[in-house]
């Protein structure tokens, strides 16, 4: 991506105004009505595709609408209908590939359904920031919220709010639905771990995500479960922060006592850092150390060596998320939620049988 550092502003030059319209304001439904020689209600009916409108009337009104470049005022509509047709997204680390892809898909799906999307970032981790972000969304009177900030404390903050709108999180939060989570997320981690075990590895480290990220914990659990199921002795996972830099530094530490043949990293970025550290130490991947990542970001296929990882369909996740949320807002059925997304192991060149 290339981006420039200069911004340019464009200001509207002047708006052409039909002579019998008040200049200051945008045309309203009554302006249209007057020019079309009908009542404002008839215009409203045209706008909302009411069946009982004579074709000729409809055409005449539509003509005036086009002439005036009239646009319904969404604030007025929201006011009277009591719904904003806006959904909020609470997101952390939104510059990362995963969240960003999901958000993009969410926006597309929402727009498709005629909804606006209002995103609030949780860049800084303070509790007050979470509160502020949620408040911001509530101020907009969003009809639903998507949480892509799967940190325990964010969930807690939201639940504590006894929020007045339905919300969707991209992961399970409670004991009740823990099962649904385990089927899937844990399964992905088990897939990765199993792959290493099948190759013959018996000394496997796990570089996990931050402790308070729900999915980091799930992935860690998947790792531990699979290791246990195969009677492979485990060491305590290392808690990272998702960044490549952390992976690099963790790798350097681990290499001081080189007592492993493989590492399962909780995401691709940390895996990249790990590989950097391992190469720095003069070791070969996968000959000396095998590495598995998680997420399959687009770059992973071009890492050196190309990274074996677990693929997740973030876009599909985002779409389902919105389908589910909208179903709940409108009180419809949520067929989408039943089937769960299955992560898929993508084997590339960063894994091989252990040399010793």
* Residues from 31 through 70 that contact its own copies (CB under 8 A): none
Q: What is d(CA 50, CA 123) in angstroms, rounded to the nearest whole number?
A: 45
The binder of 113, among DNA, its own copies, none, by C-beta within 5 to 8 A per type, is none
End-to-end alpha carbon distance in the chain = 42
- CA distances (Å), 90 to each of 239, 256, 278, 327, in order? 24, 40, 36, 19
Q: What is d(CA 104, CA 271) in angstroms, rounded to the nearest whole number?
A: 25
**Per-residue x/- mask for DNA, residues 40 to 79, rule CB under 7 A?**
xxx-xx-xx-xxxxx-xxx-----------xxxx--xx-x
Q: What is d(CA 85, CA 327) in angstroms, rounded to the nearest whole number?
A: 13
- CA distances (Å), 79 to each of 21, 84, 85, in order? 24, 8, 11
Report the SS3 class of residue 266: coil
131 belongs to the binding site for DNA (CB under 7 A): no
The answer to whether the beta carbons of residues 340 and 316 sit under 8 Å apart is: no
223 belongs to the binding site for its own copies (CB under 8 A): no
Both structure tokens of 270: 């940390």
Stretch that binds its own copies, among 44-52, 60-68, 108-116, 195-203 (CB under 8 A): 108-116
The binder of 354, among DNA, its own copies, none, by C-beta within 5 to 8 A per type, is none
Q: What are phi and psi of 302, to 5 degrees?
A: -115, 10
- Residue number, 57 or 163, with CB nearest to its own copies: 163
Q: According to CB under 8 A, which residues from 197 to 216 bind its own copies?
A: 209, 213-216
The binder of 44, among its own copies, DNA, none, by C-beta within 5 to 8 A per type, is DNA
Q: What are phi and psi of 91, to 5 degrees?
A: -140, 140
Compute the least distance from the CB of residue 230 to its own copies, in Å.
Answer: 22
- Residue number, 78 or 346, with CB nearest to DNA: 78
Compute the least distance from the CB of residue 202 to its own copies, in Å.
Answer: 25
Stretch that binds its own copies, among 28-36, 57-65, 163-171, 190-198 (CB under 8 A): 163-171
Compute the least distance from the CB of residue 19 to its own copies, in Å.
Answer: 19
Directed axis angle between helix 152-160 and helix 127-139, to 10°?
50
The binder of 30, among DNA, its own copies, none, by C-beta within 5 to 8 A per type, is DNA
Q: According to CB under 7 A, which residues from 78 to 107 bind DNA?
A: 79-82
Stretch that binds its own copies, among 39-47, 51-59, 115-123, 194-202 (CB under 8 A): 115-123
Stretch that binds its own copies, among 30-38, 42-50, 54-62, 177-185 (CB under 8 A): 177-185
Compute the least distance from the CB of residue 268 to its own copies, in Å.
Answer: 8
Q: What is d(CA 176, CA 193) in angstroms, rounded to the nearest whole number?
A: 26
74 belongs to the binding site for its own copies (CB under 8 A): yes
17 belongs to the binding site for DNA (CB under 7 A): no
Distance of CA 186 to the CA centre of its chain: 19
Both structure tokens of 10: 């464009």
Instruction: List 356's β-bridge partners, or say none.
Output: none
119 belongs to the binding site for its own copies (CB under 8 A): yes
Instruction: List 87's β-bridge partners, or say none.
Output: 117, 144
Kindly list the residues in this chain that would bind DNA in the complex (CB under 7 A).
Answer: 25-26, 28-30, 37-42, 44-45, 47-48, 50-54, 56-58, 70-73, 76-77, 79-82
């Amino acid at each position: 991506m290339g981006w420039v550092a200069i911004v340019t502003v464009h200001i509207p030059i002047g708006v052409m105004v039909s002579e019998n319209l008040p200049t200051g304001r945008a045309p309203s439904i009554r302006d249209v009505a007057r020019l079309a020689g009908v009542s404002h209600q008839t215009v409203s009916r045209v706008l909302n595709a009411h069946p009982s409108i004579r074709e000729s009337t409809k055409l005449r009104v539509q003509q005036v609408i086009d002439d005036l470049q009239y646009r319904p005022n969404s604030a007025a509509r929201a006011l009277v209908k009591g719904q904003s047709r806006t959904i909020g997204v609470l997101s952390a680390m939104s510059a990362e590939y995963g969240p960003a892809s999901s958000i993009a898909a969410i926006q597309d799906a929402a727009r498709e359904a005629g909804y606006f999307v209002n995103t609030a970032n949780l860049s800084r981790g303070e509790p007050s920031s979470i509160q502020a972000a949620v408040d911001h969304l509530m101020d907009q009177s969003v009809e639903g919220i998507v949480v892509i900030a799967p940190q325990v404390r964010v969930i807690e903050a939201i639940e504590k709010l006894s929020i007045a709108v339905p919300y969707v999180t991209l992961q399970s939060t409670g004991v009740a639905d823990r099962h649904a989570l385990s089927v899937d997320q844990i399964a992905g981690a088990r897939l990765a771990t199993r792959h290493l075990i099948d190759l013959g590895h018996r000394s496997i480290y796990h570089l996990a995500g931050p402790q308070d990220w729900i999915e980091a914990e799930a992935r860690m659990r998947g790792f531990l479960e699979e290791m246990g199921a195969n009677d492979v002795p485990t060491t305590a996972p290392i808690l990272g922060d998702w960044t490549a830099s952390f992976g690099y530094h963790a790798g350097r530490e681990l290499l001081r006592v080189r007592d492993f043949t493989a590492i399962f990293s909780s995401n691709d970025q940390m895996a990249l850092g790990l590989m950097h550290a391992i190469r720095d130490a003069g070791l070969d991947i996968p000959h000396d150390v095998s590495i598995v990542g998680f997420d399959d970001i687009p770059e992973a296929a071009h890492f050196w060596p190309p990274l074996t990882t677990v693929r997740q369909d973030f876009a599909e996740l985002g779409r389902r998320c919105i389908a589910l949320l909208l179903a709940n807002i409108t009180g419809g059925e949520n067929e989408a939620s039943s089937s769960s997304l299955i992560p898929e192991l993508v084997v590339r060149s960063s894994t091989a049988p252990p040399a010793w």
